[in-house]
Structure 1
């Protein structure tokens, strides 16, 4: 039942997330193309420059939590049950999305986003593995 629900919801969820990444949360088109390649630096700048802890948690934690569902892609694509395959596929996809944000100027190509999003996928994969092991145990 859980797998069927996931297969049903992951495509609309992905579309919703792409909407947020390009148009949601007060997005606007930047005047210049911006790239941030120094890991952790832009996140530290963001934290230092933000007065509201709610905004810090929403953005930083959101960049992790919103990507947890992609750790379950092995239910849709069996070849992605392996962590290495999943991470390679995900990082490839998120780099393309970040590049599209850069070229459209509807966001920033930020290495921290890639790191935080990938952390979310990894956490999702750990949860996925836990559930898979529990399901095997329950079936036996």
Structure 2
């Protein structure tokens, strides 16, 4: 049952997420191409310079939580059942998306986003594994 729901919803979820990454949350096109490649410095600077905790949670935690469903991709693509394969596939895909943000100037290519998003996939994969071990009846085919 859960696998069937996932297979139906992952594509619309992915399209929605891409919309958010390029056009959502009041995004406008940057005047210049922006790239941030120093791991964690941009995120730590954002946290340090942000007054409202809600903004920190929305951006930092959102960058993890919104990508957790991609840890379940093995349910759709059996090759991605393996954590290593799933992570490598995801890193390749998210780097391409970040590059599109850079080239279109509808976002910033940030290494921190790649790290946080990939951590979300890792957490999602761990949750999937736990569900498969403990709730096989509920998961279905």
Give TM-score, length-normalised by structure 1: 0.96
Cα distance between partner residues in 1 of 2:135 and 2:75:
13
Give distance in 2, aligned partners of 1:65 and 1:137: 25
SS of 1:118's partner is helix
SS of alignment partner, residue 57 of structure 2? helix
2:87 aligned with 1:87: yes
- Separation in 1, partners of 2:64, 2:134: 24
Offset, 1:135: 3.9
Q: Which runs of 5+ in 1 are unaligned?
A: none
Match of 1:76 in 2: 76
RMSD of equivalent CA atoms: 1.2
* Unpaired stretches in structure 2, ≥5 consecutive residues: none
Q: Which runs of 4+ in 1 moved over 3 A?
A: 135-138
After the TM superposition, which of the residue ranges 55-64 and 42-51 deviates more from structure 2? Answer: 42-51
Partner of 1:60: 60
